[in-house]
Chain A
Amino acid sequence: MSFGALVGISIAVLGLGGISGFYLPFLRLPLSIQALGSFGIGVAGLAIFATGSSTGASFTNAFHPRFGVDPLSGLFLAMLSIVATPVLIFSKGYYDSSIRSRAIVVMNCAFILALIMVICARDPVSLLGGWELMTVIPAAMILVAHDREAKARRSVWVYLGVTHIGGAGTWIAILLMAHAGAIGGHVVMQSGSALQIAVALAALVGLGTKAGLMPFHIWLPRAHPIAPAPVSALMSGVMIKISIYLLIRILIDWIGPLPTWIGILVLALGALSSVAGVTYAIFEHELKRLLAMHSIENIGIITLGIGACLLLRSNSEMLWASFALGAALFHSMNHAIFKSLLFMGAGTFERYIGALNIDHLGGLLRRLPIAGGCFLVGSMAIAGLPPLNGFASEWLTIQSLVHLSRFGSFIDSISGAIALALLATTAALAVFCFVKVIGLVLLGSARTHDPPASRLPSRSMDISVGFLALCCVILGAIPGVVFTRMASIAPWNLEVRSRLELHLPTTGSLPTLWIVGVLACLTAIFLLLRGHSSAELAPTWICGQDQSPRLRWTSAGFSKPLKMTLETILRPTREIAFSERGSITQKVAYSGHLPHHFETHIYAPIHRLMLAVANTMRRMQSGSLSTYVFYLIGLVLAALLAVHVGLVR
């Protein structure tokens, strides 16, 4: 059986699962069928990626629907499957069988199909069609999940507004390319031509908006957290990666070598997103919103890899350009895995505790050992700690930037060095952020009473997070199996020798298997030497006071030194209100707020301007028919006059 047939059959099974969910009054069977279909797609995608073969149609500029899979599409199908399969299994335990949940599950299937459609599309029409479906379906799912909440409706509105205004860039880029015949790289654009630059910039704005790249990101921290956890996992894990897929297609595959300033622009956007994304994440208090901000950070790291690839290519360092592309693809894969793991972990906690304010969670590692343990693994992976997969891909990105500094022209080289400093800062900030998250959410004793046992996660939920945690460990131990193929995927066809571990010629190597082994052995030795404690349990020393959850450290307290250090940049506001009676303070109320600069300085002025323009325009709209007839006749008259005078031919 060819891989193409397997893809087709799997999509049919997936669709069948979705349709059966429409008719059956329960969820388990439809979700199992969908998971099976999704698994098949992953197997086929991985096989196509690994063998480097292609199936189905190739790219066309004509407006006829065509579908096919090549190695890059295969990789993203595998990425989709590695997230979607656990998400579907997780959904079995997460949703109840109410009509609302069933509607969400059916739409979830449509969402996965839309993602597959974009990945497999080989012509502009189905590409853009899938692209729009991919944007609209999650909005519908969020609206179904929160139909009575004005705040959620507003967030969905912002999401649709921003992604459509910004997403217009995607349409412009794709249609310009289709017009020039450049889709599929059939026509090589002249480097630095106006058309090429227009396509590149339109793609950056359009795809950057959908990927959540700063400064186009403002929809992301609004829309991702309010979706149900499995949907958030798909959105953060896969949907924003589809933009990365198209960005790689357009900037690297199709429009030929770009002028260096575009590469530097990509690098700058990546660096901005990574540092600012993680910095704002540290000061978030809601777990899913915090994770959404981290998606911006990781998209930034991926974009750094793409930028390094573009610049290394323009400096004719093809081997290192391949590695940089491989680093970007590998980080996309890793982020898909650990981010969906973290979102599903957050979903488990949300169901169990009922809220997700990180200052109110705590002690979950004892109460939910499997979900908590997997969440710990995911946190370490996203923080870029060895020996997990996040470290492997960040190490590769660092190496790419070091070699950009080494080989690039003066300006490229300094841009690379600055990006490197910012990436190092980002990594340290991510460690800071996630140690705070696990400290507040998982560690210590509980801050609330135990919820009823009925809210404990079901086995299918534990299995899916466990699978993803295992993927983090395996890809951390043998990153070479996927990375070497990813580095060979570039259009300039350099074959990179396949290995289990990471080895880059001339520079150092990362013997990941040894690192895992040595770390595990040494820890075991130290634990054995330490022996067991004979002491009685004793409370923590807090100067003899009673242990009270109210005296515990909060997220705000832990991040205070950082906030004070960055005060001039972040400009936090705070209010302290004392209420006194007879010169005795009765109550002290504290509230702190961290304004997001992009919203206050970029979006708010545009927003105000648009409202002012709309206000002026409103005066023209009286609502009475005669006024509109008046406008219409006036317009026709003006047109006639214009033709007569010769303004218009």
Chain B
Amino acid sequence: MSSYSVISGIIQLVGGILLCPLLPGLIQKVKAILQGRQGPDIFQPYRELRRLWGKSTVKVEGTTFIYQLAPSIACAVMVMAVLIVPISNVSPSWGIGHDAFLLVGIIALGRFFMIGAAWDTQNGFGLMGASRDGTISIFAEAALVLSLTACALESGSSDLRVIIQSSAGGGDWASPVLPLALMAFCLVALAEVGRQPIDNPDTHLELTMIHEGPLLEYAGRDLAYLQWNASARHWVVLTLMVEVFLPHAKSTLLQLVALPVELIILCIVIATIETVIVKMRVLVVPRLLGIGTLTALMAIVAWKMAL
């Protein structure tokens, strides 16, 4: 194992698990500035986590173990996702490998338990969010799988490290394959991190929320887990975008250096999108994601035609 592997591994763990709350913190801060407010500083998510950690969890009448298990499973799944998404072409394998389709499956596992928890509490608002989340994910998953496939075709491997390796450098960007895959993934990314115009994480109006819905019945450490989970989801999706879909350098060092810079830029872009574009109706989202699926399909067609 080279020294770059060790460094990659350390950055992956420290960034994905400890530093990820900075990403939503940064987005909130930039949004505040764009809206002419001062806003809380970027460490606010940590303060919220500390506050929640000291509080008691709740017990809801009529629930089974699924309700209590769901936040822990969701976090376990997200840690696995952090491990699966490599931050350079030499990231350590962590035993579970870097398979792109495993990532899709493992995220679905977390969603299954969160929606299950909403059913367990029988909270109508939670289920409203859960059913929307499930509906959107159906369309997002097709776009996600196809855009990952478009990237995997060149090397013939669904191992994300191999994909990073093979698409590194600017050469591949002369063909439309990767730009089209990137366009498709951008739409998926907005849906997966639960940001506007698809979801609004700031809203606490029950009728409009999607990902926040199933969180309503949680408190204390459970809620802290779920808030961390949302931050780590930002890390996973944005890292995947930076390392796989955006142009990246061949050298491992440059990949590692570019990561924080690009993450900050992406956070600023997300904050800008959230400020400029209003949230769209839930029923319009599948059409947007349908466009993503077709764009990814076009990327595959383009790859095949270039052959």
Tell which of B57, B109, B120, B138 touches A530, judged by Cβ atoms closer than 8 Å: B57
Closest to A549 in B: B122
Asked if B64 and A533 sit within 8 Å, CB to CB, the answer is: no
Q: Is A136 an interface residue when CB atoms closer than 8 A count as contact?
A: no
Asked if B286 and A439 sit within 8 Å, CB to CB, the answer is: no
Asked if A540 and B121 sit within 8 Å, CB to CB, the answer is: yes
Tell which of A403, A519, A547 touches B80, judged by Cβ atoms closer than 8 Å: A519
Asked if A561 and B225 sit within 8 Å, CB to CB, the answer is: no
Q: Given that A414-B300, A530-B71 are contacting pairs, would A508 and B112 also be in contact in the complex, using a CB cutoff of 8 Å?
A: no
- Taken residue by residue from 426 to 457, chain A's Cβ proximity to chain B (1 for < 8 Å, 0 otherwise) reads as 01110110111011101111000000000000
Asked if B131 and A439 sit within 8 Å, CB to CB, the answer is: no
Closest to A527 in B: B72
Interface SS of chain B: helix
Asked if A538 and B95 sit within 8 Å, CB to CB, the answer is: no
Asked if B62 and A445 sit within 8 Å, CB to CB, the answer is: yes
Residues of B within 8 A of A445 (CB): 61-62, 122
Asked if A526 and B76 sit within 8 Å, CB to CB, the answer is: yes
Q: How far is the CA of A506 from the CA of B163 in the complex (A)?
A: 12
Chain A residues 373 to 408 lying within 8 A of chain B, measured CB to CB, are 380, 383-386, 391, 394-395, 398-399, 402-403, 405-406
Residues of A within 8 A of B220 (CB): 533
Asked if B135 and A565 sit within 8 Å, CB to CB, the answer is: yes
Asked if A530 and B72 sit within 8 Å, CB to CB, the answer is: yes
- Taken residue by residue from 542 to 573, chain A's Cβ proximity to chain B (1 for < 8 Å, 0 otherwise) reads as 10000100011100011111101100000000
Q: Is A589 an interface residue when CB atoms closer than 8 A count as contact?
A: no
Q: How far is the CA of A377 from the CA of B295 in the complex (A)?
A: 36
- Taken residue by residue from 132 to 146, chain B's Cβ proximity to chain A (1 for < 8 Å, 0 otherwise) reads as 101101111110111
Asked if A533 and B58 sit within 8 Å, CB to CB, the answer is: yes
Asked if A406 and B153 sit within 8 Å, CB to CB, the answer is: yes
Chain B residues 139 to 187 lying within 8 A of chain A, measured CB to CB, are 139-142, 144-146, 149, 152-153, 156-159, 162
Residues of B within 8 A of A429 (CB): 138
Q: How far is the CA of A363 from the CA of B62 in the complex (A)?
A: 8
Q: How far is the CA of A540 from the CA of B157 in the complex (A)?
A: 47
Q: Is B231 an interface residue when CB atoms closer than 8 A count as contact?
A: no
Tell which of A365, A410, A507, A518 touches B304, judged by Cβ atoms closer than 8 Å: A410
Least CB distance from B162 to A in Å reads 8
Q: Given that A425-B141, A541-B217 are contacting pairs, would A420 and B146 also be in contact in the complex, using a CB cutoff of 8 Å?
A: yes
Asked if A432 and B79 sit within 8 Å, CB to CB, the answer is: no
Least CB distance from A601 to B in Å reads 24
Least CB distance from B43 to A in Å reads 22
Asked if B149 and A443 sit within 8 Å, CB to CB, the answer is: no
Tell which of B59, B131, B137 touches A537, judged by Cβ atoms closer than 8 Å: B59
Residues of A within 8 A of B69 (CB): 523, 527
Residues of B within 8 A of A423 (CB): 145
Residues of A within 8 A of B145 (CB): 398, 420-421, 423-424
Q: Is A197 an interface residue when CB atoms closer than 8 A count as contact?
A: no
Q: How far is the CA of A420 from the CA of B100 in the complex (A)?
A: 14
Complex A-B: 7 CB contacts under 8 Å: A402-B152, A421-B297, A507-B157, A508-B98, A508-B162, A526-B71, A547-B62
Apart from A424-B104, A432-B134, A438-B116: 15 A-B pairs, beta carbons within 8 A: A363-B62, A410-B304, A421-B297, A422-B142, A424-B145, A431-B137, A443-B63, A515-B80, A522-B76, A522-B80, A523-B69, A531-B221, A533-B56, A533-B220, A540-B60
Q: Which residues of B contact A (CB under 8 A)?
A: 56-64, 66, 69, 71-73, 75-77, 79-80, 83, 94-102, 104-106, 108-109, 111-112, 115-116, 118-124, 127, 130-132, 134-135, 137-142, 144-146, 149, 152-153, 156-159, 162, 216-217, 220-222, 225, 282-283, 286, 293, 296-297, 300-301, 304-305
